[in-house]
């Protein structure tokens, strides 16, 4: 394919994408396929000779689309939102076209410098303390990671290195392996599985801190476990606070936790993967109070800020903590400017070496929506979740399971876990809408997350009527069965 | 921006990208900017109100392009190639449009299933042993990672878990921390810095194995260090073999190393990030002989197989080794089908949770180029590197520093490192072409890598004439200075 054909096919693809997104509502949100559906539909091996674009293109509807879960359907309420917007799609096209690999400043100065400035823009939008910004000569700064999992891992590793160095100075008799064996990381029992995974990767212990009735970790809960662990010779070194937990969007109490971490020399990382985007609205910014105590902070514009995956924004107060944990400098990666204070080599800030020009997506989205446009988007989602909450509350068969703060509603039928599992099954088998469940303590709960950019009040009403009807049908059979069981 | 405007702007962007790539030769390959150039060109904060697409679009040439290193210019000979092709760009547009996050089968079945089948296609193209393929019920299989660094890290972590479990069974008196403290990973002294980094992240020791005169690790070198380390109580557990080292594209001797690793219970990972693409040509496949001894294998189609970044292909013989190292199953990620043998949940195979629909790029590229088209691309690059090699060899002022096997030529002026540093400096300051250096042992060497998809024989001739002229000018001044120094 030459440039002339790309012009033609690229425009066809633009129309295909526009059609897909404009008419996505008409597609069934969750596919009908069974595991293994795809393999029989395509050849066993790659073709020897080139096929035409037409051949490939027609297979999109025939082979791919029947197996796609439509994340941008307004009937998709599962997981958390995956951001998507037209400005971000345009920026990603440009990113592909330029096709640079920005592992160092010299590998493409624009790629590095736009990222630093965009993370400053974004940091200012959520009113992050000055220390987290790069500015012209700050010690902190931001970086785009691929995912919140990587941000958590990177901060845990930086904390590990920093703590090992400190303890080795204090207690030279301990080997690195001795210290590693005593290090403990902490996170809420509501924290995302990626925190436990980061500790597994880093080869350190991790312990859950019990959350309270509102599924939040408070200072006393952390203090209790720290005291116990220190008494038994362990070395607490890392706490991952969550703002907007995955199960129910609860918030750890930073203002209590931060001072404890600071006093105990514990690195505090804040994972606000989903909720972070909301902090651009002044009315939600208070949820971030206490960030001033943190060493690192992360949220995902690719979840809720209309920037397509992947774009996970992470900031640190001391960039030398990250780069000091990993810095390796083979000659083929060295360049003339690297000793300059102005130069950032982002390869020292992340797990992979290579990186795409992802800041273009932020630049396009922030400029073409403006802060007010993005605030509108957040506020619409929060409004819709409260609409759903009110519908649930009006139906006395149902209950709300956690405070609705942002765009997630946890709800269930009053009754057993089995009953709620059956309800979820009937919802997901009907495939008119798509949800996933969670556990809150021992309770099986349905999560209704406002996801699509184009979801409106009518979709919420439809979803609720549908759930309500399925519940009616279910309760009827359920009671009959119960009645039969009693008679047997 | 609504769908109608996206149709218009998307088509403009397609033309912009086509123009950029068609005329890239006219742009200076390396930018003129100094560190910090970008910040003064744009506002301090994101705009409150939306800006128009036109405003953003005109800033691409004004603000971004002046700071771009043009990786796809036919005058770019630095690092290794970053793949780019029109079919891959089209596929990436589609990937963005669909915008699913394929962390589990259920999150988008097509995303997972196409990946599994494409990795089988690709594995067959390089004639990987059957054990690495997923097939319908294989124990192995492939996955797309973001980068070779992640593939190395993932395999090191899997090996670490596997070894700790084995040693704990054999010696129950050892704690996990004891074992961790004794684990040692190995790689060539020519291996990429990401291998050392993987060991740092995994909290284990790593040792260099000395390469021979051809910069390859042979069996005896590995055996020597293993014997020493075992004698001193250490536990060797991981060896990363490199096919196509970054400095000079040398190849470790798999047929000697593999049996040693198998015998010693050492996980052998093969990093063929750059060279792997060449194995689709039968005449280069012999370089992969010995892969049958490996536990995991990785190469980057995003380097040399015309698939835009990121697409790093990794295979394992036992998928349970990867998934067993990390598997965590919170309820919101569980789904109905997950116990089925046909279902792959790729989140257990990688560091991040989220993932893009990257296999679309492989599908488009493999079909629209066909195996023959991709072989032509590889063969053209190898032909051009030999063309450059011959030009160097005809000039007796220069020498070739390592065997030219694929698309990389290591060369230098006969003389001191300082002389060659001065030559590189004059090349990169002229900015007609772009190169990076490396060290081979103590010798400073220039790396000439064939990179661009559109590079042709004329560009090679131009590059050589240019280097040759700069060398003439340099040697003249150099001799004068030398003469003056002698007279002083």
Residue pLDDT, tens place only, A278-329? 999 999 999 999 999 999 999 999 999 999 999 999 999 998 888 877 655 5
Q: Is the pLDDT of residue B3 over 90?
A: yes
Predicted confidence (pLDDT) at residue B335 exceeds the cutoff of 80: no
Cβ–Cβ of A10/B90 closer than 8 Å?
yes
pLDDT surpassing 80 at residue B487: no
pLDDT of residue A488: 62
- Minimal C-alpha gap between B97 and chain A (Å): 5
**Average pLDDT, integer, range A342-361:** 87
Q: Quote the tokens at residue A170.
A: 């204090």
Interchain CB distance below 8 Å, A125 and B15: no
**B347 at interface of A, judged by CB pairs closer than 8 A:** no
pLDDT score of A349: 85
Give the other-Cβ count within 10 Å of A73's Cβ.
24
Residue among B120, B359, B367 with most chain A CBs within 10 A, to mutate: B367
Please report the pLDDT score of residue A331 as a whole number: 65
Query: Cα(B350)–Cα(B316) distance, rounded to whole angstroms?
Result: 12
Amino acid A344: pLDDT:
81
**Mean pLDDT value across residues B218-237:** 97
pLDDT number for residue A409: 98
Could you give the CA distance from residue A443 to residue A22 in angstroms, rounded to a whole number? 38
pLDDT band at B338 (very low <50, low <70, confident <90, very high): low
Identify from A27, A33, A50, A325 which residue to disrupt to test chain B contact, counting B C-beta atoms within 10 A and taking the largest count. Answer: A50
CB-closest option in A107, A110, A326 to B38? A110
The pLDDT of residue A345: 85
Confidence of residue A351 (pLDDT cuts 50, 70, 90): confident
Substitution target in B33, B37, B79, B90 with the highest count of A β-carbons within 10 Å is B90
CA distance B22 to chain A (A): 7
> What's the average model confidence in pLDDT over B106-116?
94
- For A43-71, the pLDDT digits (tens) are 999 999 999 999 999 999 999 999 999 99
Bond before B310 cis per omega within 30 degrees: yes
* Residue A116, C-beta contacts closer than 8 angstroms, at least 6 positions apart: A134, A141, A142, A344, B39
pLDDT band at A487 (very low <50, low <70, confident <90, very high): low
8 Å CB contact of B368 and A193: no
Q: Which residue of A has its CA nearest to B190?
A: A330
Per-residue confidence (pLDDT) for residue A363, from 0 to 100: 98
A321: tokens are 């903590």
- Interface contact B7, partner A, CB < 8 A: yes
* A82 in B contact zone (CB under 8 Å): yes
Asked if the Cβ–Cβ distance from A47 to B99 is below 8 Å, we say: no
> pLDDT-based confidence at B353, cuts 50/70/90?
confident
Contacts of B104 (CB under 8 A, 6+ apart): B112, B333, B335, B338, B345, B346, B347
Complex prediction ipTM: 0.95
What's the whole-number average pLDDT of chain A? 94
Could you tell me if A462 lies within 8 Å of chain B, comparing CB atoms? no
Question: Quick one: average pLDDT of A166-179?
Answer: 91
pLDDT in tens, B433-464: 999 999 999 999 999 999 999 999 999 999 99
**Measured between alpha carbons, how far is A7 from A297 in angstroms, rounded to an integer?**
42
Cα(B122)–Cα(B363) distance, rounded to whole angstroms? Answer: 10
pLDDT digits (tens, 9 = 90+) for B228-286: 999 999 999 999 999 999 999 999 999 999 999 999 999 999 999 999 999 999 999 99
| Neighboring chain B residues of A370 at a CB cutoff of 8 Å | 46-51
Whose tokens are 């801190």? That residue is A209
Rounded distance between C-alpha atoms, residue A387 and residue A185, angstroms:
39
Q: What is the pLDDT of residue A329?
A: 57
Residue A338 has pLDDT above 80, yes or no: no
User: pTM for the whole thing?
Assistant: 0.95
CB-nearest to B68 from A98, A125, A178 is A98
CB within 8 Å: A351 and B1: no
Give how far A355 is from chain B: nearest CA, Å.
Answer: 8
- What's the distance, CA A197 to chain centroid? 15
**How confident is residue A390, by pLDDT bands cut at 50, 70 and 90?**
very high
As a whole number, mean pLDDT of residues A377-406 equals 98
What mean pLDDT comes out for the span A177-188?
A: 94
Yes or no, beta carbons of B88 and A101 under 8 Å apart:
no
Q: Is A41 on the interface with B (CB under 8 A)?
A: no
Close Cβ partners of A163 (under 8 Å, ≥ 6 residues apart): A179, A183, A235, A237, A238, A265, A267
For B330, the token pair is: 């919170």
Q: Please give the average per-residue pLDDT across A429-454, as a whole number.
A: 97
Q: Which of residues 231-250 of A touch B (CB under 8 A)?
A: 246-247
- From the list A84, A352, A428, the residue facing B149 with the nearest CB is A352
Q: pLDDT grade, residue B482 (50/70/90)?
A: confident
Residues 382-411 of A with CB under 8 A from B: none
CB of A280 within 8 Å of a chain B CB? The answer is: no
Q: What is the pLDDT of residues B157-179, one digit of tens each?
A: 999 999 999 999 999 999 888 89
At A14-50, the pLDDT tens digits run 999 999 999 999 999 999 999 999 999 999 999 999 9
Average pLDDT, chain B: 94
Nearest to A76 by CA among A37, A27, A34, A18: A27
Instruction: Find chain A residues with C-beta within 8 A of B363's C-beta.
Output: 56
8 Å CB contact of A353 and B35: no
Q: How much is the average pLDDT of B70-90?
A: 97
Give me the sheet containing A312-316, strands edge to edge: A141-145, A312-316, A296-299, A267-271, A235-242, A183-188, A205-209
- Residue B426's pLDDT is what? 97
Strand spans (E) along A171-222: 183-188, 205-209
Q: Which residue does chain B place closest to A52, by CA atoms?
A: B368
Note the pLDDT of residue A327.
58
Between B98, B125, B353, which is nearest A46 by CB?
B125
Task: Read off the pLDDT of residues A82-113 as tens digits, 9 standing for 90 and up.
Answer: 999 999 999 999 999 999 998 889 999 999 99
Residue B411 pLDDT > 60, yes or no? yes
State residue A234's pLDDT score. Answer: 97
Q: pLDDT band at A335, cuts 50/70/90?
A: low
């Amino acid at each position: 394919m030459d440039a002339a054909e790309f012009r033609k096919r690229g425009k066809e693809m633009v129309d295909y994408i526009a059609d897909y997104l404009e008419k996505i509502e008409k597609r069934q949100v969750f596919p009908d396929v069974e595991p293994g559906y795809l393999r029989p539909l395509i050849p066993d091996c790659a073709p020897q000779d080139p096929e035409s674009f037409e051949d490939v293109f027609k297979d999109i509807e025939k082979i791919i689309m029947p197996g796609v879960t439509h994340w941008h359907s307004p009937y998709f309420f599962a997981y958390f939102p995956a951001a998507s917007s037209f400005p971000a799609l345009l920026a990603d096209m440009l990113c592909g076209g330029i096709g640079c690999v920005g592992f160092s400043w010299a590998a493409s100065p624009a790629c590095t410098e736009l990222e630093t400035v965009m993370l400053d823009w974004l940091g200012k939008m959520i009113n992050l303390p000055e220390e987290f910004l790069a500015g012209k000569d700050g010690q902190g700064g931001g970086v785009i990671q691929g995912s919140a999992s990587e941000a958590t891992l990177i901060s845990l590793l930086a904390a590990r290195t920093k703590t090992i160095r400190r303890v080795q100075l204090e207690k030279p008799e301990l080997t690195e392996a001795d210290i590693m064996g005593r290090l403990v990381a902490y996170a809420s029992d509501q924290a995302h599985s990626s925190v436990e995974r980061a500790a597994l990767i880093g080869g350190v212990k991790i312990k859950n801190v019990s959350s309270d009735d509102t599924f939040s970790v408070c200072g006393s809960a952390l203090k209790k476990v720290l005291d116990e662990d220190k008494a038994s010779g362990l070395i607490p070194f890392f706490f991952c606070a969550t703002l907007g937990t995955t199960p129910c969007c609860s918030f750890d109490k930073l203002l209590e936790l931060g001072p404890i971490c600071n006093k105990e020399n514990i690195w505090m990382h804040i994972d606000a993967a989903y909720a972070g985007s909301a902090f651009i609205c002044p009315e939600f910014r208070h949820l971030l109070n206490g960030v001033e105590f943190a060493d690192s902070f992360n949220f995902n514009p690719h979840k809720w800020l209309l920037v397509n995956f992947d774009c996970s924004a992470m900031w640190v107060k001391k960039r030398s903590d990250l780069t000091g944990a990993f810095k390796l400098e083979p000659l083929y990666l060295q360049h003339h400017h690297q000793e300059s204070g102005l130069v950032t080599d982002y390869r020292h800030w992340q797990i992979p070496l290579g990186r795409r020009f992802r800041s273009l997506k932020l630049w396009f989205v922030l400029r073409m929506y403006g802060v007010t446009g993005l605030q509108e988007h957040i506020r619409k989602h929060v409004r819709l979740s409260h609409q759903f909450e009110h519908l649930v509350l009006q139906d006395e068969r149902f209950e709300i399971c956690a405070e609705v703060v942002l765009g997630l509603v946890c709800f269930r039928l009053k009754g057993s876990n089995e009953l709620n599992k059956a309800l979820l099954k009937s919802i997901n088998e009907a495939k008119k809408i798509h949800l996933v469940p969670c556990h809150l303590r021992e309770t099986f709960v349905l999560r209704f997350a406002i996801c699509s950019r184009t979801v409106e009040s009518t979709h919420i009403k439809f979803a609720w009527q549908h759930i309500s009807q399925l519940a009616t049908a279910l309760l009827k059979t359920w009671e009959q069965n119960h009645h039969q069981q009693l008679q047997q």
